[in-house]
Amino acid sequence: MRTLNLRIVRGGPGRPATYQTYQVSVDEHLNILDAVQKVWATQDPTLLFRHACHHASCGLCGVRVNGRERLMCLTPIAEFPEGATVTLEPLRNFPWVGDLVVDVKPLMDRMAAIQAPYVRKDELTAGSEEGTRFEDCIECGLCMSACPVVGSDSAYLGPSPLAMIKRLLEEPRGRDIQSLCALAGDAHGAWRCHSVMECVEVCPSNVAPSQAIGLLRRYLILRGRRQLAGAERR
């Protein structure tokens, strides 16, 4: 068992944020999410937090842990020494619902606009037959929170939507490439990225958005060149 002090943001729109600290003991093999759930279950049922799968698939439990975007289910208790204070704050750049919960609609609207797919070809496992798997992106929003451009431009598509556009260019699955390129190529698309790379730092699921944006830019340039040369319709 390890005892930690969870210092958690409390409050919501219209109620100023305060920090409330809870002391909680959990088994060392577990994660911060378990500690938060224990606080809610045994100390304070008013605490708001998002979670579902507890194994980094649903994308719900993203917060800032000691200032850093993390999934709570992938933040081991064992990372913190006995008695440590762990500060938990909601993600940035999303409307605040209350405590650790934010409204992810801005990200979901962008994903809906590009008709983001959930399933792709499985290139990971052996076998000659066609296999499928879920796309890497779990839409957790950590990248959107960590990205300073998302913070300063409310129309910026953002790391994960742009990475998803790149995935669609690689594997179209019936999407309209022209309109995707228009989205990615506009003033709030791929050219807004400043290569800060925070998205890559925080992504828990192998998406590496900044790298995808680089490839997307190259694609847009090459496509533009072909269109100028008359080799491709605009």
Partner 1 sequence: MTLHAVIIGAGSTGAAVAHDLTLRGYRVTVVERGEVACETTGRNHGLLHSGARYVLNDPPAARECAEDNALMRKLMPGILELNGGLFVALNEEDLSYKDAFLEACAQAGVPAEEIPVQEALRLEPNLNPRILAAVKVQDGVFDPFHFTLAFLATAKQHGAVVHTYTEVIDLLWNGRSVGGVKVRDRRDGREYAIGADLVVNAAGPWAGRIGAMAHVDIAVLPVAGTMVAVGRRWVRRVINRLCPPCDGGIIVPQRRNSVVGTTSWPVENPDYIAIPPEQVEAMLAAGEEFIPGFRSAPLRGISAAARPLLRESSQLVAADPGARGITRGFSCFNHAGDGAPGLFSIIGGKTTTSRLMAEVMGDVINEATGITTPCRTREVPLLPYHAFYV
Size of the site for partner 1 (CB under 8 A): 57
* 38 binds partner 1 per the rule CB under 8 A: yes
* 54 binds partner 1 per the rule CB under 8 A: yes
The residue within the footprint of partner 1, chosen from 17, 19, 44, 52 (CB under 8 A), is: 52
Tokens standing for residue 218:
């190259």
Residues 157 and 110: beta-carbon distance below 8 Å: yes
Phi, psi of 52 (to 5 degrees): -155, -65
Q: What angle do CA 16, 37, 15 make, to 5 degrees?
A: 10
Q: Which stretch binds partner 1 (CB under 8 A): 36-44, 147-155, 181-189, 224-232?
A: 36-44
Place of tokens 């319709």: 233
List, in order, residues 6 or more apart from 40 with CB less than 8 Å away: 47, 49
Shortest distance, position 93 Cβ to partner 1, whole Å: 16
* 157 binds partner 1 per the rule CB under 8 A: no
* 37 binds partner 1 per the rule CB under 8 A: yes
* 205 binds partner 1 per the rule CB under 8 A: yes
Q: Are strands 62-65 and 101-102 parallel, antiparallel or unpaired?
A: unpaired
The residue within the footprint of partner 1, chosen from 5, 20, 58, 224 (CB under 8 A), is: 58
Tokens standing for residue 13:
């729109």
Shortest distance, position 176 Cβ to partner 1, whole Å: 16
Shortest distance, position 137 Cβ to partner 1, whole Å: 9
* 118 binds partner 1 per the rule CB under 8 A: yes
What is the widest separation between alpha-carbon atoms in the chain?
68
81, burial (CB in 10 Å: exposed 0-12, middle 13-18, buried 19+):
exposed
* 119 binds partner 1 per the rule CB under 8 A: yes
Q: How many residues does the chain have?
A: 234
Under the rule (CB under 8 A), what is the footprint of partner 1?
12, 14-15, 26-27, 29-31, 34, 37-38, 40-42, 46, 48, 50-60, 73-74, 97-98, 101, 104-105, 108-109, 111-112, 115-119, 122, 124-127, 131-136, 138, 205-206
